[in-house]
Amino acid sequence: MPELPEVETVRKGLSKRLLDFQIENLEVCRERAIASPGGSKVFIKMMRGASIGEWHRRGKYLIAKLYRRLPSQTNKTTSRDSCDASAGYWGVHLRMTGQFQWIEEASNPCPHTRVRFWNKEGKELRFVDTRSFAEMWWVSPKEKIENIITGLKNLGPEPFSPEFNAKYLLKKLQGKKRSIKSALLDQSIVAGAGNIYSDECLFLSGINPKKESGLLTEVELQSICSNLIEVLRISIGKGGTTFSDFRDLEGINGNYGGQAWVYRRTKKSCRKCGAIIQREKLSGRSTHWCPECQA
């Protein structure tokens, strides 16, 4: 499942490829992919003719600003903000297996193709999703984004934001019996971290994933904050991870996986101490840790 570094990698690819991409035509191949009111009918109507502006990421959500080009004679300036009208927002959540593909030469879509977008030149942005859990939204410029993409309402702070710190975690986890691993997976506590990076972060912090989150000290929580930021930063630099079927826009998977400390290293020896890496399901997710380094 794509986590923050993978979604950030996709955001960078979309920003680069789609700068001023104008949607000449689009096709929704599977109704379920569109989660905004009015389904594919409204989505197609409102997205057709729109140009794609800046891409933002919030947690694992991708959001693009849409605009419509107005005839330039109506305004002497060339700035996009002043002479173009907002056409709302385009939201995307990749969930398990959603991925964008950039198609230069026309080709037949695979059976998992969900949505297709073309520009005037016939270049295609294709959205493929094997498991079919990914969602897209069109949000009217008059509407608050979180009223349509309701998952945004419950997101905790971004790991890179100043709000994500030991004091915040201490308050949030006070008296909580749940394991620290389960707390880190909770998007309402911190946005964007998932299974891979929470396992890696806990290894670097020397904290057992099963430890009760409410019992952690401020020093331990500080270590968790810094290490989570560190692993996310390293992985973003490497274009995400090779795990799962994640691919960026150009079909390339990242290479964080090769250097993981514990994730998917079950029964291998710990890179620090040589002990055997353990694996167990915790809150339904495979959790990896070193019994010595994370006693």
Q: Which of 19, 233, 292, 295 binds Zn ion (CB under 5 A)?
A: 292
Closest approach, Cβ 209 to Zn ion, in A, equals 13
The single-letter code of the amino acid at 157 is P
Selection from 184, 197, 179, 207 nearest residue 291 by Cα? 207
Is 285 among the catalytic positions? yes
Please, what is the end-to-end C-alpha distance for the chain in angstroms? 28
Of the pair 126, 265, the CB lying nearest Zn ion is at: 265
3-state secondary structure of 4: helix
- Residue 14 contacts Zn ion per CB under 5 A: no
Element (H, E) at 55: strand 51-58
Of the pair 35, 201, the CB lying nearest Zn ion is at: 201
3-state secondary structure of 81: helix
Closest approach, Cβ 201 to Zn ion, in A, equals 15
Q: Which residues contact 205 (CB under 8 A, 6 or more apart)?
A: 220, 223, 224, 227
User: Crossing angle of helices 218-237/4-17, nearest 10°?
Assistant: 40
Show the site string, 158-187: x = touches Zn ion by CB under 5 A, - = not.
Answer: ------------------------------
- Residue 290 contacts Zn ion per CB under 5 A: yes
Tokens of 187: 């998007």
Q: Which of 270, 282, 287, 288 binds Zn ion (CB under 5 A)?
A: 270
- Where does this chain touch Zn ion (CB under 5 A) — which range of 40-48, 115-123, 127-135, 268-276? 268-276
- Residue 271 contacts Zn ion per CB under 5 A: no
CA atoms 176, 181, 184, 188: torsion sign: negative
Of the pair 246, 261, the CB lying nearest Zn ion is at: 261
Of the residues 11, 57, 58, 60, only one is catalytic, namely 60
Is 126 among the catalytic positions? no
> CB-side exposure of 130: number of CA atoms within 13 Å?
7
- 111-150: which residues touch Zn ion (CB under 5 A)? none
Q: Return the ∠ at Cα 93 (arms to 89 and 94), rounded to 5°.
A: 135
Closest approach, Cβ 224 to Zn ion, in A, equals 18
- Residue 277 contacts Zn ion per CB under 5 A: no
Q: So which residues are the catalytic ones? A: 2-3, 60, 285
- Residues near Zn ion, by CB under 5 A: 270, 272-273, 275, 290, 292-293
